[in-house]
Structure 1
């Protein structure tokens, strides 16, 4: 078994351990203090999956009227740092705590900016600058991120709920249930991986799409596909896909459409159906209560049914089939799974 697959299979166990740490007395005290800040604006920033992991938390805050945005640290460093004011809460996310953009932003960051640091390495440049430091608290990975990405996702969701109302007890319960669902799904990982691999074996490029909270998985999943399979993986908002990119669809077109429970589930299922009607091949990742009768008998559609969970936590579970697909196809194509050719785990060059 390659190290990337081992990392995938370890995620549920590692996240259960990590969440116990997130509920420690010291962590809860930090959350209590963050709840008292009442910032005028929250900015989430990171690079790669550490950037995308905050999309769901950002949407949740916006739905409750809390002004915030998610910005890549590279853009924040060179073009948008002027938005950082004394009443801004800056949430910086970096698994290593040493990504070059994070380090250079910290060098120019005024001391009166309050920083929440989320990292898997303490001490690090990021942890030393953080006013509130949260350890992702999972084992280090060798290459393409798995559990550190999901640990970051969970932490930003917890921090978002803290900023919204202070009480995180219900969120911890829901997150633990989500991770338990992941554990159950991974018990049959060979079956799931083979099903996905066989269905998508001819794929030469991939389009991932969804709406709302699923965009976190769309962005991160596309990144992981590009890293592991070393081929183009495009990420789309489903609504935007109709405005032009639908012209790409033909018999050699391959897509993953995400349709978790929520206000746009039916729209996303309709998107999968429209692609299939135009002869494209679609993996539809949805839940067990979704109405997919129009798709279940189509040879060019594979429906993946996950447990029903709250939409804002769906990205934690949705990413797992995508990880398994990437691993299965990489193995079949004799690509060294999870190994970087041109990059590194910690980027030191802009």
Structure 2
């Protein structure tokens, strides 16, 4: 592995950039109050790729509270926005560049006159920023290739801005500050963690990452990032979706990685699925503290943000798997940092 590759340097900077973002925690909380979520007729979360998965936890929280919230890729919003974005809607658009093709198309074709936009982006001069009524500048600094710093800061921004709704600001702030320390410690020994992941992760024909609930958003993000950064065909899906048909690939040729946050009933359901595929001859690896199979490296999760810890785990795995495929982790062959083509 190259400790000086652009991707690796960005991974190394994550704790610092998250700590800098946390200086603005009170500002993010105040912004959340200004949004007036309880008075909104609709709240729609949209983005693409990891930017889209960054808002999943908040959508799930709002749905549990009975709030009128939608969560969909910006590509789908292009098709249905005319009917969905009714007067009074708050549209939360996330795009690290602020210039992704689908987000730009939404801004171009949808009637924005009767809605308000919360833009979350790393570029305050972007198209998204210019169209936003409320703006979160991620301030993650330049990012060379695969999403790293911007993704972590997006996760933090989501939790801080919307903590007012669940009256959880102090606990969220405390958890995120604890997370800064946890990932700083973890990254200081990243080479060792990469070597461990390379030794522990099985050699198989088929690879799948699964999870449930918020951890399911991590498993899907992992599938995206591992394909992008390590050039390996690794499916990211939910554990429930895997039960419905894809389980037919279970057997000696399958490696399945569980993202699990230890909450019930998800943990018990994951353990049951893991036991079933182990019985078929599949290999099971586990990201989280409470599970079966082979445990993969992760930051200290005690009091930390679980999804940020998940991210460091699949980033670690991306370096290990890139070494197997003989590519520089995070380098682009066909994609680019900003996807500007529909």
Instruction: Compute the TM-score of the two structures, normalised by the length of structure 1.
Output: 0.89
Aligned to 2:143: 141
- 8 Å contact from structure 2 (residues 30, 161) kept in 1: no
Moved more, 232-241 or 137-146: 232-241
Q: Deviations over 1:194-228 (max 9, x none)?
A: 11112226244420101011012111111001111
Residue 254 of structure 1 aligns to a residue whose secondary structure is strand
Aligned to 2:339: 347
Residue 24 of structure 2 aligns to a residue whose secondary structure is helix
Residue 320 of structure 2 aligns to a residue whose secondary structure is helix
- Compared with structure 1, are the counterparts of its residues 74 and 235 closer, same or farther at alpha carbon in structure 2 (3 Å cutoff)? same
Q: Deviations over 1:81-118 (max 9, x none)?
A: 41111121100001111111111211223222110010
What is the correspondence of 1:247-266 to structure 2 with a 5 Å cutoff?
247-263=248-264, 264-266=266-268
TM-superposed deviation, 1:15: 0.5
TM-superposed deviation, 1:346: 0.7
Unaligned runs of 5+ in 1: none
Aligned to 2:325: 333
CA distance in 2, matches of 1:75, 1:32: 29
Moved more, 205-214 or 273-282: 273-282
Q: Deviations over 1:225-253 (max 9, x none)?
A: 11112232212221222222222112121
Aligned to 2:18: 15
Aligned to 2:7: 4
What is the correspondence of 1:192-341 to structure 2 with a 5 Å cutoff?
192-200=193-201, 202-263=203-264, 264-287=266-289, 290=290, 292=291, 295=292, 301-302=294-295, 304=297, 307-309=300-302, 313-341=305-333
TM-superposed deviation, 1:308: 4.2
Number of residue pairs matched by the alignment = 337
Aligned to 1:128: 130
CA distance in 1, matches of 2:207, 2:82: 34
CA distance in 1, matches of 2:296, 2:201: 13
- Compared with structure 1, are the counterparts of its residues 214 and 28 closer, same or farther at alpha carbon in structure 2 (3 Å cutoff)? closer
Moved more, 148-157 or 183-192: 183-192
Aligned to 2:121: 119
Aligned to 1:170: 171
- Compared with structure 1, are the counterparts of its residues 178 and 66 closer, same or farther at alpha carbon in structure 2 (3 Å cutoff)? farther
Aligned to 2:91: 90
TM-superposed deviation, 1:184: 2.5
- Compared with structure 1, are the counterparts of its residues 36 and 202 closer, same or farther at alpha carbon in structure 2 (3 Å cutoff)? closer
CA distance in 1, matches of 2:83, 2:278: 46
Q: Is 1:152–2:154 an aligned residue pair?
A: yes
Unaligned runs of 5+ in 2: none
- Compared with structure 1, are the counterparts of its residues 6 and 203 closer, same or farther at alpha carbon in structure 2 (3 Å cutoff)? farther
- Compared with structure 1, are the counterparts of its residues 99 and 113 closer, same or farther at alpha carbon in structure 2 (3 Å cutoff)? same
Instruction: Compute the TM-score of the two structures, normalised by the length of structure 2.
Output: 0.91
Q: Deviations over 1:287-344 (max 9, x none)?
A: 2xx3x4xx46xxxx34556544579x41111121111111122134321321221121
CA distance in 2, matches of 1:218, 1:270: 18
TM-superposed deviation, 1:121: 0.3
CA distance in 2, matches of 1:115, 1:329: 39
TM-superposed deviation, 1:137: 1.0
- 8 Å contact from structure 1 (residues 8, 146) kept in 2: yes
CA distance in 1, matches of 2:233, 2:325: 15
